[in-house]
């Protein structure tokens, strides 16, 4: 048996998708011209699949900070922080993050994936229990695989099921660590965090919240779901990313735990990888200041969310359960989803294609992410194009179309 | 050979747990086969890894147990799945 024989099924299904048209998992943006536009296959394309929620990738203050850091500190750190040392910018960004969240400590990681991997796999000891939402991101599942802790899944967003799982563990030794996400990346729904925080208190558990998709998006200060739910003091570890609202790459964790800093000499995904380059650290630090300084970006984002969500819903499309910057359009089958995705790209609209097994409940999704920088005109074009494609492939019928 | 026996002579107890497991797996049975204790969950049934996790949720609900994710790679056959549920149920 050949080394790659194990991928035969995957290769067959990927080839079948590619045979129909462009590869949904291998698109090249020939030129990205703004947070919301790129040239793809020679065509001007509206980007609705970027997670660039606040549109800060071209923000002048971030670009300027990155440029200056690049010119004065060089292109990279060429090593990890425990080996090569931290740059002033790393420590500065950690201080800024701790201040932003009103927490005692912050730790910066090279990617968001590594932040989840590092924090979850390190805080859970062999006798502990990780109780995770069934629809958790791959980075949370992978973190669980790295631990010797007992890993238990609860039904997605089901506080009663979480309570039941903790109840079953009553009387066992070992810490109980609950892991949830602020906004779930595929369907865009939010955790019932106030209820979950109450359950955490009841059982004396710890709570980790991944605010990757909710930082900068939710809360008056943009601190995410915990801020909206009013339970920030109950969250023991906030994990997040710099690659969405903050427009760059990297990850972080903030915590009030007094011994948090021991993780710097224990957490392998922090210790054994090169640290973020100075230009990224500078742009992220500048972007964090923009989030604090310009709450109107959030207001604009939510106005755009309303436009896209309501617009698509009005046409009769089946959407994710909760309004938010991730707007997932359900299609009946993976084949129709691929067909629709390719037709959209041909028409100059780029969304994410999300297929099983990466999606909850076997859903086939056209996953749209809304950006504060989208213009009304762009969103109307997106709505019209998605609706037209849904009509062409028979997902929307004539009466529904007329009703729109 | 009883209903739950298999060709290797491994016989799982004919209890409520075993029949609940086979009932839950019935939708994934390949035509012309029957589900026995030795049935390999990932190879002999029409069931992918995600469906396996959903199935586990269903059994957890029914028997009021939590099946740790760490145990899943060790569960190969229907008999082993029933044994795992039984063991957790007995605490």
Q: Could you tell me if residue B70 is inside a domain? A: yes
A358 reaches B (C-beta below 8 A) = no
Q: Could you tell me if residue B8 is inside a domain? A: no
The whole-number pLDDT of residue A305 equals: 98
**Phi and psi for B20 in degrees, rounded to 5?**
-65, -40
ipTM above 0.95, yes or no: no
Write out pLDDT tens, residues A190-212.
Answer: 999 999 999 999 999 999 999 99
The whole-number pLDDT of residue A283 equals: 98
Is-contact A168 A139, C-beta < 8 A? no
Q: Using alpha carbons only, give the angle A303, A308, A313 rounded to the nearest 5 degrees.
A: 125
Cα–Cα nearest to A61, from A247, A333, A264: A247
A144 reaches B (C-beta below 8 A) = yes
Strand partners, A329: A319, A366
CATH 3.90.1150.10 for domain A8-47+295-403:
yes
Q: Could you tell me if residue B7 is inside a domain? A: no
**pLDDT by residue, tens only, chain A of 404 residues:** 899 999 998 899 889 888 888 888 889 999 999 999 999 999 999 999 999 999 999 999 999 999 999 999 999 999 999 999 999 999 999 999 999 999 999 999 999 999 999 999 999 999 999 999 999 999 999 999 999 999 999 999 999 999 999 999 999 999 999 999 999 999 999 999 999 999 999 999 999 999 999 999 999 999 999 999 999 999 999 999 999 999 999 999 999 999 999 999 999 999 999 999 999 999 999 999 999 999 999 999 999 999 999 999 999 999 999 999 999 999 999 999 999 999 999 999 999 999 988 898 889 999 999 999 999 999 999 999 999 999 999 999 875 555 54
Over A96-152, what HEC string results? HHHHHHCCCEEEEECCHHHHHHHHHHHHCCCCCEEEEECCCCHHHHHHHHCCCCEEE
Number of structural domains (chain B) is: 1
User: Integer distance in angstroms from the first to the last C-alpha of chain B?
Assistant: 30
A356 reaches B (C-beta below 8 A) = yes
Q: Could you tell me if residue B1 is inside a domain? A: no
| Mutation for testing the B interface, residue in A126, A131, A147, A151 having most B CBs under 10 Å | A151
B43 reaches A (C-beta below 8 A) = no
Write out pLDDT tens, residues A324-382.
Answer: 999 999 999 999 999 999 999 999 999 999 998 889 888 999 999 999 999 999 999 99
- We report the CATH number of the domain holding residue B56 as 1.10.1200.10
Q: What is the DSSP string of B39-73?
A: -BTTTSBS--HHHHHHHHHHHHHHHT----GGGGG
| Domain residue limits at B56 | 16-90
The whole-number pLDDT of residue B6 equals: 47
Is the pLDDT score of B2 beyond 60?
no
pTM of the model: 0.94
- CATH code, A59-293: 3.40.640.10
- Sign of torsion over alpha carbons A112, A209, A218, A157: positive
The whole-number pLDDT of residue B90 equals: 85
Among the partner residues A144, A151, A357, nearest to B50 by beta-carbon distance: A357
A393 reaches B (C-beta below 8 A) = no
The C-alpha of B34 sits at a distance from chain A's nearest C-alpha, in angstroms, of 25
């Amino acid at each position: 048996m050949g080394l790659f024989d194990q991928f035969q099924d995957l290769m067959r299904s990927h080839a079948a998708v590619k045979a129909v048209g462009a590869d949904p998992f291998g698109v090249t943006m020939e030129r990205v011209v703004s947070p919301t536009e790129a040239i793809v296959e020679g065509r001007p394309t509206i980007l609705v699949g970027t997670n660039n929620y606040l549109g800060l990738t071209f923000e002048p203050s971030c670009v300027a900070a990155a440029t200056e850091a690049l010119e004065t500190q060089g292109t990279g750190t060429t090593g990890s922080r425990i080996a090569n040392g931290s740059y002033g910018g790393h420590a500065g960004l950690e201080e800024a993050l701790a201040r932003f969240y009103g927490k005692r400590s912050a730790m910066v990681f090279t990617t968001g994936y590594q932040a989840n991997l590092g924090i979850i796999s390190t805080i859970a000891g062999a006798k502990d229990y990780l109780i995770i939402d069934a629809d958790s991101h791959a980075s949370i599942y992978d973190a669980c695989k790295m631990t010797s802790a007992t890993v238990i899944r609860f039904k997605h967003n089901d506080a009663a099921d979480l309570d039941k799982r903790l109840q079953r563990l009553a009387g066992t030794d070992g810490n109980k660590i609950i892991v949830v996400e602020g906004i779930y990346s595929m369907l865009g729904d939010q955790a019932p965090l106030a209820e979950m925080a109450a359950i955490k208190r009841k059982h004396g558990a710890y709570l980790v919240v991944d605010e990757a998709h909710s930082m900068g998006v939710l809360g008056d200060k943009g601190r995410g779901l915990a801020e909206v739910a009013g339970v920030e003091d109950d969250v023991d570890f906030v994990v997040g990313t710099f690659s969405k609202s903050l427009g760059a790459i990297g990850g972080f964790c903030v915590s009030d735990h007094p011994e948090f800093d021991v993780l710097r000499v224990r957490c392998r995904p922090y210790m054994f990888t090169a640290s973020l380059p100075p230009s990224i650290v500078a742009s992220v630090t500048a972007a964090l200041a923009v989030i604090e300084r310009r709450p109107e970006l959030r207001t604009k984002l939510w106005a755009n969310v309303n436009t896209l969500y309501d617009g698509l819903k009005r046409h009769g499309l089946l959407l994710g359960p909760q309004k938010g910057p991730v707007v997932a359009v359900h299609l009946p089958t993976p084949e129709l989803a691929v067909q629709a995705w390719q037709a959209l790209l041909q028409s100059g609209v780029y969304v994410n294609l999300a297929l099983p097994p990466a999606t909850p409940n076997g859903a086939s999704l056209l996953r749209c992410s809304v950006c504060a920088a989208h213009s009304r005109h762009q969103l109307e074009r997106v709505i019209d194009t998605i609706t037209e494609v849904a009509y062409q492939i028979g997902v929307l019928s004539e009466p529904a179309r007329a009703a729109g | 050979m009883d209903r739950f026996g298999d060709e290797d002579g491994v016989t799982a107890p004919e209890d409520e747990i075993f029949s609940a497991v086979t009932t839950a797996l019935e939708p994934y049975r390949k035509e012309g086969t029957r589900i026995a204790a030795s049935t390999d969950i990932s190879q002999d049934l029409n069931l992918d890894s995600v469906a396996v996790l959903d199935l586990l949720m269903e059994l957890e609900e029914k028997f009021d147990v939590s099946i740790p994710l760490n145990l899943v790679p060790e569960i190969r056959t229907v008999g082993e799945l029933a044994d795992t549920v039984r063991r957790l149920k007995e605490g």
